[in-house]
Each structure stands twice: as C-alpha cells, then as structure tokens.
Structure 1
Amino acid sequence: MPFPAEEVPGLPDAFDYRHWDGEEEFPADPADCVFYVTPYMKSPEVTLRPVVHMPRLAVLQTLTAGIDHVLGGLDRLAPGVTLCNARGVHDASTAELALALTLASLRGLPGMVRGQDREEWRFGFYEALADKVVLIVGYGAVGEAIEDRLVPFECARVLRVARSGRTTVRGPVHALADLPDLLPGADVVILCTPLTEQTRGLAGAEFLARMKDGALLVNVARGPVVDTGALLAELREGRLRAALDVTDPEPLPAGHPLWHAPHVLITPHVGGSSSAFEPRAKRLLARQLTRFAEGGTLENAVLITE
C-alpha cells in the first residue's frame, strides 16, 4: 500500500502489510503480494513495475477513478485478477475544482490576480454562472457531484451526457451520440469522462467548432480527451475559452504554447489532490481489504483479467 498500515484505521488482521509508494526498492518480495494498491499519481512505468513479479496477485486497486494508467499492464497479469478503481474517493474534490475553474474563468479572476500584482484596479462587468446552460460530459459519479454543486448557482439548465443514455431523477442523460446537437446550446462544457478509446480526442476540431462563440470548455477528465492543437486554434482566434486541470502533454512542458494562449486558465492536475483524498482513500482500502478477507464482493470492480 502507498500508506503505512498503522495510518489506515480499520484494516483487517488477516494480512501482512507492506508500505510501497513507488520507491526503487520493494519492501518485500512482490511474489507474495495478493492485493496491490497502486501508488497515487505515479507514472505508468512506476505503477506497473512490480506486477510482472506478482504471480499470486488477486486484486489490483487503484487510488484514481480513471484506470488508463494501468490498462497497458494488464497483459502482464495472470488470469482472474480483479481490477478496482477508486470511484467515490475523488468525487467531491474534483467537483469542487470543476466549479472553481468555471467561476474563476467566468468572473475573470486570473486577470484580476494579474492586476493585483501590477496594482491595477480592473473594474468592469463580468459573466455570472447564473442563467448559463451547463453541459456535463461524462455523467458518472463525478458528473453527479458537479451537478450537486451547480444547483445553488441558478443555472438556466444542466445537460448531461454519458456513454449511453438513461433517465435520472434530475432528468435525462443523453448518449454521446447526442453531443453534436447539444454543444451549440451550452455556455459551459465540463469534461469529466474517463479516458477510453471512445473518448480519446473527443473534444477535437469538430466538437470545438460546434461550441457556441464565447463558450467555456472545462476539462477535469484527462488531457488526451481534448485535441490540444484544435483547442489552441480556437483560443488564438478568441472564439472559445478554456479552464484545464489536465493537459496533453502532461506535465505541460516549459515553452509549450498552451501556457501563454489567450483565454485559458491552467491548474496542474490537482482535481483529486486535496485534503479530502487521504481520509477517503484510507476508508476505501479498509472496506476493500475487509471484504477481501471475508470473501465478500469488492467495491468498484471494473474488470477481471482473462
């Protein structure tokens, strides 16, 4: 685990626990590992390095909701390994940041901060979130948490899109196929979808071209969900604005044109990296390991290797 066992309340006594957070040396023989909790926010290379040495592995548990960083290593695992994600751990924190990015961009806060640094009083009229149409693309647990936080802001309408359509108590969830018809009516488009082959490059030139003039694109999903080149073209023309917690490439290297593109606010992939992470992650691990010890059904099982 990436946490020392003594720092995780409620762990069952059925196992020996080893603390490993991506260091060069393993704390024990990986061949003895049956339940592997991956390090948080480490590269795929670091995360997957021990799995080839884990013939007894039964469960691979990520501490992220997305699993794209481990998918490339599944062929190194024996059949029957259960892959679980951390659905629920990051919902509140990521939703908070999505809302913060939206509000900061609409109200012009980045420019005001620069104005403060220069002792400039930048009075004017700025946009409100009230009366805006917000489109949430990726209406899962994070998308629901984002809508929870939009409710008090008196949006004109919230539109929801997921991989497949369904009906919720709040209204319809449209399928991805409906996006072309929904984009022109949205003032704010928030991306919180997982990175899959279906969503890689989803916000490309055609997607962006269908957004209305002056609309705001907020990405708290994964960088490759957006075509960076296509977005740069729209930003430079001044037609769209963007607020990005994730980028492609990532980390965004020095000298990359996105840093200084007009109308863009960038944060360094901190949607889940808040004070809410550790206590929620530790509660999840205690529940999962207790279920595993008792032979129960694990939470958040995404797939079983073949």
Structure 2
Amino acid sequence: MTVVASVPTEDLLAAVGEVEGVELVLWEPGGDPDPRIEVCVPDYRDSGHFRRLAELPELRLVQTQLAGFDGQVELLPAGVTLCNAAGVHDAATAEHAVGLALAVLREIPAAVRGHGSWQQLRTDMRSLADSRVMVLGYGSIGRALVRRLLAHEAEVTAVASRPREDDLVGHVHGVDELERLLPDQHVVVVLLPLSDRTRGFLGAERLALLPDGAVVVNVARGGVLDSDAVVTEAGRLRFALDVTDPEPLPDGHPLWSAPDVLVTPHVAGGTTAMLPRMAALVRDQLAAYAAGRPPRNVVHVG
C-alpha cells in the first residue's frame, strides 16, 4: 500500500526526491489538499496548513519544519502524531546567536548608524574570548551553540531544567540555580521552549540580577522574555532579539526605539543549511513510516 505524503514547496519536493513506498504530493499554502494524505509536512511560516488538517481524513503524522511546537498540538485532529524538526536548525540558530552576540559586543550597530563618516568606537569592547556566557536551555541547539562558543574561547555556563554531567561543559546547572548564576554573566543566550511555565521567564526580577552592560540574546521564542522588562532595562543591559513578543513586532513598538536593542526578524533558521537538512529528515521519516517503523522527534503521540 503506497503512503501519500505532502510537502508545501516545489523546492522541498525536489530535494526529498523519491522514497520507496511513498507518493509525494505538493500541498502549497492556500491550495486544496489531496484527501489521501497520511503524512503532512506543513509550510515553514504559514500556519494555515495546521488549521486545515481536519480536512485530511487519512492523516496520521505531521512533520513540522520547526524546532518549537507551541500552539501546534491544539490544532491536531485526534489520532495524529506530531514530530518536530529537532536538529535541522541547530547549526543555523547557533550561528545566528553567536553573530548577534558579536554584533552587540563589538558595537556593530553603532558603526552602521555612523556609516559615512569615520567615528572612533570604544577601544575596550568586550570580546567573546574570556567572557562568561550562559546558555539558558541546553538542548540540541544549545550543544551546537556551546561548540561554537568554546571555539571563541568563552567560559560557558549551561542551564537546563535539571542538573547533570555533560561531555562538552562538564556540569549542566539546574534552573533552580539561575538567580545565583545570573549576576556573574556577561552574555545570556536564551534557548528555552515556550510553554505556560516559561512564558515571561526572564522578567524584571531576573533581568535586574544581570550586571550593567550584560548582553541578552534571544533566539528561542519572544514570549520567554518579558518585552516590558526589556524596554525598562534597555540601556543598562544590551539586547539582541531574533524573536519578539508580539511578533511580528509592530511599527512604532517601544522595542524599536529602546537603546541598545538589536532586532532581527526571526531569521535564525532561514539559511542555506535548512533545505538539505529538512529534506534529509523528511526522507528518513517517510521511509520509517512506510516501513512501519516509529518516527523520530515525536513531541505528541496521537
């Protein structure tokens, strides 16, 4: 019996190629789905696919192109399993986090604003080398980030939900140690998933614990960082945000004009690394499904 699976773009269709036992069809955003679809890969940005999953009577598995899955489980029809794209965006997101941290530490936004005239920047800019950098949320992206931070000779502190030993950082701290650790950090990179427990996790009280001039980089979800607290602390602290709350960030929002806040429009994963890695994951998942094997990256069992 042939499995019918859908992907949202011609590029992904071509990149996945032929998979034994699978008929791969195109379901573009705004188009009508093939009712035979058993496995669906929704569009990367358009949530419209999720809102139409109930139109697929044969649907059994959804493979997203995102690492995060907040707000998705609630849209799944009964009996449908959800898998995320863990691993696909690790390298690109880690690269972006390092890039944002370096941009702020080395005052690149000030150089851009002053473009057209030679302006002397500070000569005591902080280097990543020898800086104390906290990775807040130590999963697969966190590990990819730590490898890059160690290459920059940073002193890394990893924080996860529970303490454990680790081959890269030695010891991973539990989140219950956060208040003790924050005052000693030069940079904090936020990688926590968004949930009811983590919404507003870095708010006014925790940001106040950071030393003057510390940099907070958020490449996780906007809601993990309290936007009002960011506006209040901007200037004393420095922020680099690839994600915001709200998102998209409206024109005229206070974050746009807050001092020492750099915003990129949720682009950390959007690189040339995404398509081949996503295609490889989809091929593996489809081959497993067609052969009756369990899929990877299951975040919800239908």
Same fold, judged at TM 0.5 (above): yes
Match of 1:162 in 2: 160
Match of 2:23 in 1: 16
Alignment of 1:196-235 (within 5 A): 196-235=195-234
Alignment of 1:3-152 (within 5 A): 3-4=9-10, 6-23=13-30, 25-29=31-35, 32-42=36-46, 44=47, 46-74=48-76, 77-79=77-79, 81-116=80-115, 118-125=116-123, 126-152=125-151
Corresponding residue SS for 1:278:
helix
Between the aligned partners of 1:293 and 1:48, the Cα distance in structure 2 is: 23
TM-score, normalising length: structure 2: 0.93
Quick one: which of 257, 263, 266 aligns to 2:254? 257
Instruction: Indicate how the Cα distance of structure 1 residues 262 and 168 shifts in structure 2: closer, same or farther if over 3 A, else same.
Output: same
Query: Is the 8 Å Cα contact of residues 11 and 289 (structure 1) preserved in structure 2?
Result: no
Using the TM superposition, name which of 213-222 and 175-184 deviates more: 175-184
Match of 1:282 in 2: 279
Shift of residue 166 of structure 1? Answer: 1.5
Between the aligned partners of 2:212 and 2:28, the Cα distance in structure 1 is: 45
Corresponding residue SS for 2:198:
coil
Shift of residue 13 of structure 1? Answer: 3.5
Query: Is the 8 Å Cα contact of residues 137 and 191 (structure 1) preserved in structure 2?
Result: yes
Shift of residue 179 of structure 1? Answer: 1.1
Between the aligned partners of 1:33 and 1:183, the Cα distance in structure 2 is: 48
Instruction: Indicate how the Cα distance of structure 1 residues 129 and 6 shifts in structure 2: closer, same or farther if over 3 A, else same.
Output: closer
AA aligned opposite 1:106: L
Between the aligned partners of 1:68 and 1:252, the Cα distance in structure 2 is: 19
- Flag structure 1 segments of 5+ consecutive residues without an equivalent: none
Instruction: Indicate how the Cα distance of structure 1 residues 172 and 11 shifts in structure 2: closer, same or farther if over 3 A, else same.
Output: farther
Between the aligned partners of 2:144 and 2:198, the Cα distance in structure 1 is: 20
Shift of residue 267 of structure 1? Answer: 0.5
Shift of residue 90 of structure 1? Answer: 0.2
AA aligned opposite 2:104: S
Shift of residue 161 of structure 1? Answer: 0.9
Query: Is the 8 Å Cα contact of residues 136 and 192 (structure 2) preserved in structure 1?
Result: yes
- Flag structure 2 segments of 5+ consecutive residues without an equivalent: 1-6
Shift of residue 27 of structure 1? Answer: 4.2
Instruction: Indicate how the Cα distance of structure 1 residues 300 and 264 shifts in structure 2: closer, same or farther if over 3 A, else same.
Output: same
Using the TM superposition, name which of 1-10 and 86-95 deviates more: 1-10
Give a deviation string over 1:104-141, Cα, whole Å, max 9, x none.
Answer: 1000001011111x423234312211111000011000
Alignment of 1:179-198 (within 5 A): 179-198=178-197
AA aligned opposite 2:253: H
Corresponding residue SS for 2:205:
helix
Query: Is the 8 Å Cα contact of residues 16 and 282 (structure 2) preserved in structure 1?
Result: no
Between the aligned partners of 1:195 and 1:50, the Cα distance in structure 2 is: 23
Using the TM superposition, name which of 63-72 and 133-142 deviates more: 63-72
Match of 2:3 in 1: none
Corresponding residue SS for 2:289:
helix
Quick one: which of 220, 238, 242 aligns to 2:239? 242
Match of 1:178 in 2: 177
Between the aligned partners of 1:16 and 1:9, the Cα distance in structure 2 is: 11
Between the aligned partners of 2:216 and 2:227, the Cα distance in structure 1 is: 12
RMSD: 1.5
Between the aligned partners of 1:71 and 1:229, the Cα distance in structure 2 is: 28
Give a deviation string over 1:10-69, Cα, whole Å, max 9, x none.
Answer: 53242322212322x21423xx22101111022x3x132221122321111110100114
Shift of residue 296 of structure 1? Answer: 1.2
Instruction: Indicate how the Cα distance of structure 1 residues 6 and 140 shifts in structure 2: closer, same or farther if over 3 A, else same.
Output: closer
Query: Is the 8 Å Cα contact of residues 160 and 175 (structure 2) preserved in structure 1?
Result: yes
Between the aligned partners of 1:190 and 1:259, the Cα distance in structure 2 is: 20
Paired residues, what number?
Answer: 293
Give a deviation string over 1:166-224, Cα, whole Å, max 9, x none.
Answer: 11112111222221111111110000111112211111111111112211100000000
Between the aligned partners of 1:290 and 1:15, the Cα distance in structure 2 is: 8
Between the aligned partners of 1:231 and 1:60, the Cα distance in structure 2 is: 35
